Amino acid sequence: MAFLSVQQITKTFGNGPANVPALVDISLDVAEGEFVVVLGPSGCGKTTLLQIVAGLEQPSQGAVRLRGQPIRGWGRERALVFQEGNLFPWLTARDNVAFGLRVQGIGPEERRATAHQLLSHLGLEGCEQLYPHQLSGGMRQRVAIARALAVNPEVLLLDEPFASVDALTRTRLQEELLRIWQEYRKTVLFVTHNIHEALLLADRLVLLMPRPGRVKACFDLDLPRPRRAYPAELAAWEQRLEREMAEAEQAPHVSVPAWEPQSLAQRSPSAKL
Amino acid sequence: MSDLGKRLRGASLLLVLLVLWELLPRLNLVDPLLLPPFDRVAARWAALLMSGELGAHVVISLLRVLAGFVLAALTAIPLGILLGLRPALRERAEPLLGMLRPISPPAWIPLAILWFGIGNRPAVFIIWMGTMFSLLVGVLGAARSIDSRWVKAGLTLGASRRQAVRLVILPLLLPAILTQLRVGLGLAWMCVIAAEMVAVRQGLGYLMIQARNLFQTDTVLAGMVTVGLVGWALDGMLGIVERRALHWREGTEAHGFFERATDH
Amino acid sequence: MFPRLPVVRLLLAVLLLALAALTGCAPKKDDPLAIGVRTANDHAPFYIADKLGYYADEGLQVDVQLIPSNTEIVEAIQRGDLQVGVAPITTAIAAIAQGAPIKIVAMTGRGSDGLLVRADSGIQAIGDLRGKRIATIRGSILDVPLRQALDQAGLDPEQDVELVYFNQLGDMIQALKTGQVDASSNTEPFMTEAELQGWGRILSYYTESWPDHPCCVVFVRQDLLDQRPDAVQKLLRTHIRAVDYANAHPRETAEIIVEYLDAFDVDLVEASLAPEKMRIDYRIVAAEVEQMAGLMHAYGLIERQPSTEQLLDLSPLEAAVK
């Protein structure tokens, strides 16, 4: 059984004839310690997928399992790094990072020490007492990552975390993330629409196509890191993925038959809810 | 504009009003029985202050107002947060709230006397009722419109629902709550006259009501000036508290963009 | 700099509005006389004159307005909205002491005020009120005779009893009924009503300490006296006629009172008009006005005691009587 298993997830918003199928029959597996990137154009439901894995949304059908057990709502074992960071504005950088520890009842001394350590690890030693509005976009995302790491999640979820920073900062942040991933041996599920970013980071790439969100293809990226050392291969991959993405974007809208609730007798034994 | 500049501008406007207040009755452009000239009111005010009467009245009124205000805050804030976060409860409560809220403070007087008799208790009750519903609606509105993204952040970091309320929602609401409290304190203070119509023997409201019955308009005006000054001081104090508690908001305010770049 | 600011322009506009509101208006020659009266037994002559057309008989155009509050009547006179007012003598004295340009010209009623207690309270005499709570309206006709009565019974109003100040008669009655006060200074017909309803007992009337004391008076704006003395005389002739009618026809008077007050029943009101309780009268003398003013000054209710000339102008009444 895979470490993290997304099984036939379907998500439909709304009821009756006006419903919007956002995701249909998405399945993917993530092995422990793997860095999986979900790549897709806008509207393919990749954020919804991540929210379902994080437990912030409920699927209409299908299940998500972690270490074989179905997930129950949200939890720190699947910490999420949001696109806008969502740092608590009333807390300093250090207290933001310490938040997840405070929630667990860990004492102030210990949490401050852990937060300090993590912030240093992410290159933010001088920034501990600063408030989010005093930090640059790149620094804020680093704090957000440190905050998620602080709770020692089983799976680190990231929803286009570098989409709103400039290209230079983005490159630095990508390198940071890779370094963290390797040091802490985390399992990562990362969502983006940026092909180059996906290629730099992923062990495995899952390409989604929109209307409704479905898996178009999966790719194993056997390229060693740092990937910039292999420009030719990267270029080839980029071309291929651009083609795939273009096809995905131009794919016609597929109307999905209205989901009918299945009676227990009709369910196949493998699709356990 | 410098702080001093601002203060001077405010002072000059005040000065103009005071000059008008003195001249218009003296020149009989306004009936001095209806508006006594400023110096008479000032003299009366000084006399009340010197005799210690004014101080005693202010203290009593303040105590009543603070008591009513605290009661209003303690009931309205938790209730407002609860109703703001629970749409089902809010829907059921909304009709009742809608009916109770427009009841102005003097309208509570008969009931207050009936239930609490005479003296301090009905006065505090009237202030409580006069303040609570506005506070409740304000806090409710703020709780309703909390952006869920920080709540989501808190939850995915392992917070339980209760922890999310305590550690995310309350800090998020604090600015709105402090603003509402400031408004509420102003409202509570404005209730003081209505509250002291219920057979009390001291207080600014009592002073003004009795003065009116005996046509002592200068005392009525001196009382009003005092009400204004004390209300201003209360608001100023809460403003300081607000600024201290919300220092993390500096740099995130939008109003800076509405000040003119060049002030004359 | 100033005039350009839109805020200042707004302020000036507001100021002009305020000015317009606060300047009193002088009466013009032929305007109807605006008379403010309250809903009370001793204002009956004005109901009578209104109902029976006495004003028209004198060729006087009037506008009789029922106003619930003594203070409002005086304030309306100060603004010029009324030219004639009927209110307790204490109200008139307090207003004149503060400079109101009015003069008392006639009486309309005497007596009718006293102390009410609960029937079961065991209070038998004013002396029993030592240490008790008494409801009163500070500075009013319910207050001054009360203090005098307490004085005469050997009680210091400020030290030996607890005076509780109200603003409305209704609240005082409620407070007495529910036991929040032990006695209430009160007026007819509420006192008789309380007895008839069984819960109250009239402890005494203030006429016991000051026989035939003045209650409500008629007062007019000074500029009315100056500019239309004939109108004032006609008004007072009407008043005399109505007073005589009231004293000769108590039952009919009670009916008219019930109609204008829109409350109580005729038997109750007739009972409350009994001569031992009150007397409708137009005669007024300087000595009693001075005495009331002196008491008010002594009790600290007015800061300076106005002179008799400032309080009273008997010439229209004297002329009307002839």
Q: What CATH number is associated with residue A177? A: 3.40.50.300
Note whether A161 and A70 are same-domain residues.
Answer: yes
d(CA C159, CA C165): 15
> What's the rounded mean pLDDT across residues A91-118?
94
Give domain status of residue B264, yes or no: no
Chains near C, with 3+ CB pairs < 8 A?
B
A132 pLDDT higher than 80: yes
Token duo for residue A69: 């057990």
Note whether B8 and B46 are same-domain residues.
Answer: no
Angle at B221 between CA B57 and CA B6, to 5 degrees: 95
Cβ atoms < 10 Å from Cβ of B47? 14
- The per-residue pLDDT for A263 is 43
- C249 CB contacts (<8 Å, ≥6 apart)? none
d(CA B219, CA B49): 12
Note whether A252 and A186 are same-domain residues.
Answer: yes
CB contacts of A93 in chain B (<8 Å) are none
Residue numbers of the domain that contains B144:
39-249
d(CA C236, CA C230): 10
Note whether A142 and A15 are same-domain residues.
Answer: no
Q: What confidence tens digit (pLDDT) does each residue in C38-79 have?
A: 988 889 999 999 999 999 999 999 999 999 899 999 999 999
d(CA C170, CA C193): 13
Note whether B55 and B101 are same-domain residues.
Answer: yes
Note whether A73 and A171 are same-domain residues.
Answer: yes
Longest Cα–Cα distance in chain B: 74
B144 pLDDT higher than 70: yes
d(CA A121, CA A97): 12
> What's the rounded mean pLDDT across residues C27-40?
82
CATH assignment of the domain containing B159: 1.10.3720.10
- The per-residue pLDDT for A272 is 37
- Asked if A136 reaches chain B (Cβ–Cβ under 8 Å), the answer is no
Q: What confidence tens digit (pLDDT) does each residue in C176-208 have?
A: 998 999 999 999 888 999 999 999 999 999 999
Q: Do A90 and B172 touch (CB under 8 A)?
A: yes
- The per-residue pLDDT for C116 is 96
- The per-residue pLDDT for C23 is 59
> What's the rounded mean pLDDT across residues A105-123?
93
Q: Of B92-106, B144-158, C1-15, C154-168, where does mean pLDDT reach its minimum? A: C1-15
pLDDT over 70 for what percent of chain B?
93
- The per-residue pLDDT for B42 is 95
- Asked if B27 reaches chain C (Cβ–Cβ under 8 Å), the answer is no
Note whether A162 and A146 are same-domain residues.
Answer: no
> What's the rounded mean pLDDT across residues A235-249?
89
Note whether B4 and B73 are same-domain residues.
Answer: no
What domain count does chain A have? Answer: 2
Q: Are strands A155-159 and C183-187 parallel, antiparallel or unpaired?
A: unpaired
Q: What confidence tens digit (pLDDT) does each residue in B111-123 have?
A: 888 898 888 999 9
> What's the rounded mean pLDDT across residues C236-256?
94
pLDDT over 90 for what percent of chain B?
64
Of the two residues B73 and B259, the one the predictor is more confident about is B73
pLDDT over 90 for what percent of chain A?
66
Which residue segments constitute the domains of chain C, with CATH numbers given? 28-110+213-321 (3.40.190.10), 113-208 (3.40.190.10)
CA distances from C155 to B96, C149, C208, C300 (A): 51, 9, 16, 17
Q: Do C180 and B33 touch (CB under 8 A)?
A: no
Q: Is the peptide bond before A212 cis (omega within 30 degrees of 0)?
A: yes
B256 pLDDT higher than 70: no
Q: Which residue has the tokens 């600011």?
A: C5
Q: Do C1 and B117 touch (CB under 8 A)?
A: no
The mean of the pLDDT values for chain A is 88
- Residue where a domain stops, chosen among A152, A169, A201: A152
DSSP A213: B
Note whether A203 and A101 are same-domain residues.
Answer: no
Note whether B96 and B152 are same-domain residues.
Answer: yes
Note whether B68 and B157 are same-domain residues.
Answer: yes
In a 3-state reduction of DSSP, which class is residue A87?
A: coil
The mean of the pLDDT values for chain C is 90
State the best of C69, C158, C167, C181 to mutate against chain B, taking most chain B CBs within 10 Å: C167
Note whether B118 and B236 are same-domain residues.
Answer: yes
Cβ atoms < 10 Å from Cβ of A238? 14
Note whether B153 and B175 are same-domain residues.
Answer: yes
pTM of the model: 0.79
> What's the rounded mean pLDDT across residues C17-24?
64
pLDDT over 90 for what percent of chain C?
74
Note whether B5 and B92 are same-domain residues.
Answer: no
- B147 burial level (CB within 10 Å; 0-12, 13-18, 19+): exposed
CA-based nearest distance C71→chain B, Å: 6
Question: Nearest by CB to C171, which of B20, B199, B213?
Answer: B199
Note whether A39 and A143 are same-domain residues.
Answer: no
What domain count does chain B have? Answer: 2
Give domain status of residue A236, yes or no: no
Give domain status of residue A197, yes or no: yes
Instruction: Return residues 148-187 of A near B (CB < 8 Å).
Output: 148, 151, 157
Of the two residues A98 and C262, the one the predictor is more confident about is A98
Angle at A230 between CA A229 and CA A232, to 5 degrees: 145
- Asked if B152 reaches chain A (Cβ–Cβ under 8 Å), the answer is yes
Q: Of A139-143, A268-272, B26-30, C237-241, where does mean pLDDT reach its minimum? A: A268-272
| Residues A147 and A96: beta-carbon distance below 8 Å | yes
Long-range contacts for A93-96 (Cβ within 8 Å, ≥24 apart)? A93/A119, A93/A124, A93/A127, A93/A128, A93/A129, A93/A130, A93/A131, A93/A132, A93/A135, A93/A139, A93/A143, A94/A119, A94/A128, A94/A129, A96/A132, A96/A143, A96/A147
Q: Of B189-193, B214-218, C143-147, where does mean pLDDT reach its minimum? A: B189-193
Q: What confidence tens digit (pLDDT) does each residue in B171-197 have?
A: 999 989 999 999 999 999 988 888 898
Give domain status of residue B116, yes or no: yes
Of the two residues B107 and C19, the one the predictor is more confident about is B107
Give domain status of residue B262, yes or no: no
- Asked if B245 reaches chain A (Cβ–Cβ under 8 Å), the answer is no
- The per-residue pLDDT for A266 is 45
At residue B250 the predicted structure's pLDDT band, cuts being 50, 70 and 90, is: low
Q: Do B156 and A104 touch (CB under 8 A)?
A: no
Note whether B56 and B20 are same-domain residues.
Answer: no
pLDDT over 70 for what percent of chain A?
93
Q: Which residue has the tokens 């995915």?
A: B156
B260 pLDDT higher than 70: no
A273 pLDDT higher than 50: no
In a 3-state reduction of DSSP, which class is residue A158?
A: strand
d(CA C322, CA C319): 6
- The per-residue pLDDT for B185 is 93
In a 3-state reduction of DSSP, which class is residue A94?
A: helix
Note whether B122 and B219 are same-domain residues.
Answer: yes
In a 3-state reduction of DSSP, which class is residue A157?
A: strand
Note whether A18 and A127 are same-domain residues.
Answer: no
- The per-residue pLDDT for B263 is 44
A259 pLDDT higher than 80: no
d(CA A160, CA B153): 15
Q: Do B252 and A86 touch (CB under 8 A)?
A: no
CA-based nearest distance A85→chain B, Å: 9
The mean of the pLDDT values for chain B is 88
CB contacts of A102 in chain B (<8 Å) are 167
Q: Do B34 and C22 touch (CB under 8 A)?
A: yes
Count of residues in chain C:
322
CA-based nearest distance C302→chain B, Å: 8
Contact call for C and A: 3+ CB–CB distances under 8 Å = no
A247 pLDDT higher than 90: no
Note whether B227 and B188 are same-domain residues.
Answer: yes
Note whether A101 and A220 are same-domain residues.
Answer: no
Q: HEC string of chain C?
A: CHHHCHHHHHHHHHHHHHHHHHCCCCCCCCCCEEEEECCCHHHHHHHHHHHCCHHHHCCCCEEEEECCCHHHHHHHHHHCCCCEEEEEHHHHHHHHHCCCCEEEEEEEEEECEEEEEECCCCCCCHHHHCCCEEEECCCCCCCHHHHHHHHHCCCCCCCCCEEEECCCHHHHHHHHHCCCCCEEEEECCHHHHHHHHCCEEEEEEHHHCCCCCEEEEEEEEHHHHHHCHHHHHHHHHHHHHHHHHHHHCHHHHHHHHHHHHCCCCHHHHHHHCCCCCEEECCCCCHHHHHHHHHHHHHCCCCCCCCCHHHHECCHHHHHHHC
- Residue where a domain stops, chosen among A94, A126, A152: A152
- The per-residue pLDDT for C5 is 66
d(CA C47, CA C259): 9
Q: Is B168 left (phi over 0), alpha (psi -120 to 50) or beta?
A: alpha
Give domain status of residue A269, yes or no: no
Note whether A2 and A49 are same-domain residues.
Answer: yes
Token duo for residue A196: 């180059």
Note whether A136 and A1 are same-domain residues.
Answer: no
| Residues C233 and C106: beta-carbon distance below 8 Å | no
- Residue where a domain stops, chosen among A132, A152, A172: A152
CA distances from A186 to A33, A88, A154, A181, C177 (A): 5, 24, 7, 5, 79
CA B230 to chain centre: 10
- The per-residue pLDDT for A258 is 52
d(CA B199, CA C178): 15
Give domain status of residue B260, yes or no: no
| Residues C193 and C264: beta-carbon distance below 8 Å | yes
At residue A268 the predicted structure's pLDDT band, cuts being 50, 70 and 90, is: very low
pLDDT over 70 for what percent of chain C?
93
- The per-residue pLDDT for B249 is 66
B228 pLDDT higher than 50: yes
Give domain status of residue B256, yes or no: no
> What's the rounded mean pLDDT across residues B255-263?
49
Note whether B71 and B173 are same-domain residues.
Answer: yes
Nearest C-alpha neighbor of A135 from the set A160, A165, A108? A165
At residue C106 the predicted structure's pLDDT band, cuts being 50, 70 and 90, is: very high
Residue numbers of the domain that contains A22:
1-79+153-225+247-258
> What's the rounded mean pLDDT across residues C141-146?
95
| Residues A75 and A55: beta-carbon distance below 8 Å | yes
> What's the rounded mean pLDDT across residues B9-29?
89
> What's the rounded mean pLDDT across residues A184-199?
93
Note whether A46 and A159 are same-domain residues.
Answer: yes
State the best of B14, B33, B116, B200 to mutate against chain C, taking most chain C CBs within 10 Å: B33
CA distances from B96 to B36, B144, B184 (A): 45, 18, 20
Q: What confidence tens digit (pLDDT) does each residue in B33-71 have?
A: 889 999 999 999 999 999 999 999 999 999 999 999 999
Nearest C-alpha neighbor of C92 from the set C219, C226, C195? C219
d(CA C240, CA C49): 10
CB contacts of C99 in chain B (<8 Å) are 32-33
